């Protein structure tokens, strides 16, 4: 029987306060760094928890928009966006240095993640903003996206990401959170969703079509109401499918 080894990541440091429970169940994390949520105290606290649990640490830059939690596209100049992302990364790097923790990856948050997946100019702006990290870390990107293509062209090391707790449209965009079926909150449903992606490299979309997808890392959002229940269930049931977490 073929065995599969995967990474499960979680967006954390966003004010939910459940990181102590989540960390033992994941292998990498994406820590809010002030754009949509987070400050020096939350960054330090979550970095320490990740270190204690041997969880790989990533930074989670966003549009500078705490009011909307970074989930609304912003009309912002390239210069403003680049400078904001760089400030967020500088603040996070200072925390990592103080805690003696290496940076493993960068993953954009929310609307910025979705926008750089399809907008070439925004993808280029984002890559320019984080360019100083290129030779040392991974970039988490969605499969088949513009940011994936541009990152590979520029020589980035990437990990393709899929979402364990979100429904997909046929074009592999995420179903809008404004719709009632955007989230997968039932643990068994999440298990079926992720197993299909891992074993078959396909995802069932909201219209019932079966679409190719590839991923090395799978996200469960830390602010999903049932995140802890989902992760506990996955930790118990994925080994039955010969799927194992790679810490």
pLDDT tens digits for range 203-229: 999 999 999 999 999 999 999 999 999
Q: Which two tokens stand for residue 227?
A: 């995140």
pLDDT tens digits for range 144-160: 999 999 999 999 999 99
pLDDT of residue 75: 94
Q: Where are the domains of the chain?
A: 4-245
* Cβ 40 vs Cβ 21: under 8 Å: no
pLDDT tens digits for range 113-143: 999 999 999 999 999 999 999 999 999 999 9
Q: What percent of the chain has pLDDT over 90?
A: 98
Q: Give the CATH number of domain 4-245; options: 3.20.20.370, 1.10.530.10, 3.90.650.10, 1.10.760.10.
A: 3.20.20.370
pLDDT tens digits for range 174-189: 999 999 999 999 999 9
> Mean pLDDT over all residues of the chain?
97
Phi first, then psi, for residue 168 (nearest 5°) are -110, 145
In order of 92, 144, 240, the CA distances from 131 in angstroms are 16, 21, 41
pLDDT of residue 1: 79
Residues 33 and 36: their CA atoms lie apart, in Å, by 8
pLDDT tens digits for range 21-49: 999 999 999 999 999 999 999 999 999 99
Residues 24 and 31: their CA atoms lie apart, in Å, by 16
Grade residue 240 by pLDDT with cuts at 50, 70 and 90. Answer: very high
pLDDT of residue 247: 83
pLDDT of residue 84: 98
């Amino acid at each position: 029987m073929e065995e599969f080894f995967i990474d499960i990541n979680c967006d954390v440091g966003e004010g939910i306060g459940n990181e102590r429970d989540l960390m033992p169940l994941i292998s990498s994390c994406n820590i809010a760094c002030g754009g949509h949520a987070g400050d020096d105290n939350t960054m330090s606290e979550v970095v320490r928890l990740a270190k204690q649990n041997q969880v790989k640490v990533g930074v989670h830059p966003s549009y500078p928009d705490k009011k909307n939690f970074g989930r609304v596209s912003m009309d912002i100049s390239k210069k403003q966006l680049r400078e904001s992302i760089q400030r967020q990364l500088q603040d996070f790097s200072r925390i990592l240095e103080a805690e003696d923790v290496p940076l493993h990856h960068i993953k954009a948050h929310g609307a910025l993640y979705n926008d750089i997946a399809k907008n070439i100019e925004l993808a280029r702006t984002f890559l320019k903003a984080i360019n100083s990290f290129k030779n040392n870390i991974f970039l988490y990107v969605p499969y088949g996206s513009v940011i994936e293509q541009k990152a590979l062209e520029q020589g980035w090391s990437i990990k393709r990401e899929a979402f364990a707790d979100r429904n997909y449209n046929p074009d592999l965009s995420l179903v809008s959170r404004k719709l009632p079926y955007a989230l997968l909150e039932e643990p068994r449903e999440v298990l079926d969703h992720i197993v299909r992606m891992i074993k078959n490299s396909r995802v069932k979309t909201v219209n019932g079509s079966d679409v190719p997808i590839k991923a090395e890392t799978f996200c469960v959002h830390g602010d999903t109401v049932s995140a802890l229940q989902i992760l506990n269930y996955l930790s118990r049931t994925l080994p039955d499918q010969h799927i194992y977490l790679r810490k």
